[in-house]
Amino acid sequence: MLETGKKAPAFSLPSVSGRKIALKDFTGKKVVLYFYPKDNTPGCTQEACDFRDSMARVQAAGAVLLGVSADSIASHEKFRDKYELPFELLTDESHEMMEKYGVWKEKQNYGRTYMGIERTTVLIDEKGVVSRIWNKVRVKGHVDQVLAAIEEG
């Protein structure tokens, strides 16, 4: 189970830029890792665009932003291009990394039970330690909460 104050699980995932991205690549920087259910759906699009519109503040705070879902790289490329997203989108089609982070969960919708991604954001500090976790994220106002946390230290 992911906990604040503990080392964030290591990962190395394919990205929309065509290379593998690993947590260790960002030692010395804060990492905002946001998990979202699906490219091009209303909530996920709003969240991605909110992060896009706040990239200057994310970067000014010395942080890196990474979006993660189980969608394919091809899907991520269309999503990135359509909304001009200036950050990496990573794919975890095997759900292995998402399981380590505790975001691959049983969900229910209209009486149907299925496995899926619980919208979650994790803030990892410069030493690779989890400093903040937002579970069951509500998109409206969420980016402001994340920005406040990275800007305060």
Tens digits of residue pLDDT in 87-117 = 999 999 999 999 999 999 998 888 899 899 9
- Assign 1 a pLDDT band (cuts: 50, 70, 90): confident
Measured CA to CA, the distance from residue 37 to residue 30 in angstroms comes to 23
Torsion sign across C-alpha atoms 50, 53, 58, 61: negative
Token pair of 147 as six digits:
């920005």
In the three-class reduction of DSSP (H, G, I as helix; E, B as strand; rest coil), residue 15 is classed as: strand
Domains of the chain as residue ranges with CATH: 30-151 (3.40.30.10)
Q: How many residues does the chain have?
A: 153
Considering the entire predicted model, what is its pTM? 0.94
pLDDT recorded at residue 151: 87
pLDDT recorded at residue 153: 67
Helix (H) or strand (E) holding 19: none
Catalytic residue from among 8, 13, 23, 44: 44
24 pLDDT above the threshold of 90:
yes
44 counts as catalytic: yes
Per the prediction, the chain carries an average pLDDT of 94
Measured CA to CA, the distance from residue 11 to residue 98 in angstroms comes to 10
Token pair of 54 as six digits:
């706040």
CA 152 to mean position of chain CA atoms: 20
